[in-house]
Amino acid sequence: MIVVTGGAGFIGSNIVKALNLSGMANILVVDDLSQGNKVANLTDCDIIDFVDKDEFIQDIVKGGKYEDMDVIFHQGACSDTMELDGRYMMQTNYEYSKTLLETASKHSIPFIYASSASVYGDGKEFIEEVEYEKALNVYAYSKLLFDRYVRRHRNNLECQIVGLRYFNVYGPGETNKGRMASVAWHFYQQYQEQGYVNLFEGSGGYEAGEQLRDFVYIDDVVNVNMHFLSQPQISGIFNVGTGRAQSFNDVACAALNALSGEQRTTAQWVKDNMIRYIPFPEQLRGKYQSYTQADLDKLMVDGEYTESFADVDTGVSAYLDSLKG
């Protein structure tokens, strides 16, 4: 049996779909459906059962009925970088993950989990080493602390363990994320509602809309997960991004080109007032990554991953075509 925690969420549900496409349906989805609209991500999935996340971990603690797990994709987490309740964040992201990992180790179950590029903070290099890590908020800290827990106990763990530091993921299935959805999703909504898109003014030494992120398409993220499923001999913590930083202006331009059917430059969209800049939020100052770019050396060498990643033009076009469809 394959377990996917957060299986009704954005990345988790796409992993379930990929497993189905590979002929696997012996899948247990674990999630919290307090936000009921997430169920839309599962309606076209073939699974054997669904279990609430609290019930699942309680059964795990009791040594319950899940001994037949073949692999755990641990994607479940509170991913709201604006969440200020540190106790809730640490319980949900850190303690839950530790308990699940201990069970995986006890029964030698491969454990592939979601980390985050937020662990690098406002640094300029993004390499999977301690000296490059700096959490700017409690979400990032909860992810970083679990990565460090994994490193500290790695030699005593009796299972494959793979941590994937996702950069800025976008693509189908993220509608339920609301304000935490990608800028590509927000641009689509803004264009439908108001006919133009909004970007932040300059911040962190960057001009308006020129803040740089490593935007990675969901299909590529899923492919990396499936790669490690097929390589049980490989363990480690790996970046998952394109290795190319692109600006928010690039994403806005790609979105407007895809939605309008035209091929124009950012400068032309700005001139026609189709890209507009809004004040940078005060609550994000000091907590915002103005630049990210995944170093992929470890993924390519130690992780033996050889596939290429879609750039913004390709990924955003495919994504918005799916939303229009």
Residue 66 has pLDDT above 90, yes or no: no
177-181, 204-208, 284-288, range with the lowest pLDDT: 284-288
Residue 162 has pLDDT above 90, yes or no: yes
Mean pLDDT of 289-312: 96
Check residue 172 and give its pLDDT: 97
Residue 272 has pLDDT above 90, yes or no: yes
Mean pLDDT of 147-175: 95
58-72, 87-101, 151-165, range with the lowest pLDDT: 58-72
Active site residues: 139, 177
Mean pLDDT of 295-319: 98
Confidence band for 83, pLDDT divided at 50, 70 and 90: confident
Sketch the domain layout of the chain as residue ranges.
Answer: 2-169+216-242+293-309
> Is the whole model's pTM more than 0.85, yes or no?
yes
Mean pLDDT of 177-192: 93
CATH number listed for the domain at residues 2-169+216-242+293-309: 3.40.50.720
12-26, 51-65, 153-167, range with the lowest pLDDT: 51-65
Residue 285 has pLDDT above 80, yes or no: no
Residue 287 has pLDDT above 70, yes or no: no
Check residue 244 and give its pLDDT: 98
H/E/C letters for each residue in the chain? CEEEECCCCHHHHHHHHHHHHCCCCCEEEEECCCCHHHHHHCCCCCCCEEEEHHHHHHHHHCCCCCCCCCEEEECCCCCCCCCCCHHHHHHHHHHHHHHHHHHHHHCCCCEEEEEEHHHHCCCCCCCCCHHHCCCCCHHHHHHHHHHHHHHHHHHHCCCCEEEEEECEEECCCCHHHHHHCCHHHHHHHHHHHHCCEEEECCECCECCCCCEECEEEHHHHHHHHHHHHCCCCCCEEEEECCCCCEEHHHHHHHHHHHHHCCCCCHHHHHHCCCEEEECCCHHHCCCCCCECCCCCHHHHHCCCCCCCCCCHHHHHHHHHHHHHC
Residue 128 has pLDDT above 70, yes or no: yes
Check residue 63 and give its pLDDT: 79
Name the percent of the chain lying above pLDDT 70. Answer: 99
Mean pLDDT of 252-276: 96
Mean pLDDT of 21-28: 97
Average pLDDT, the chain: 94
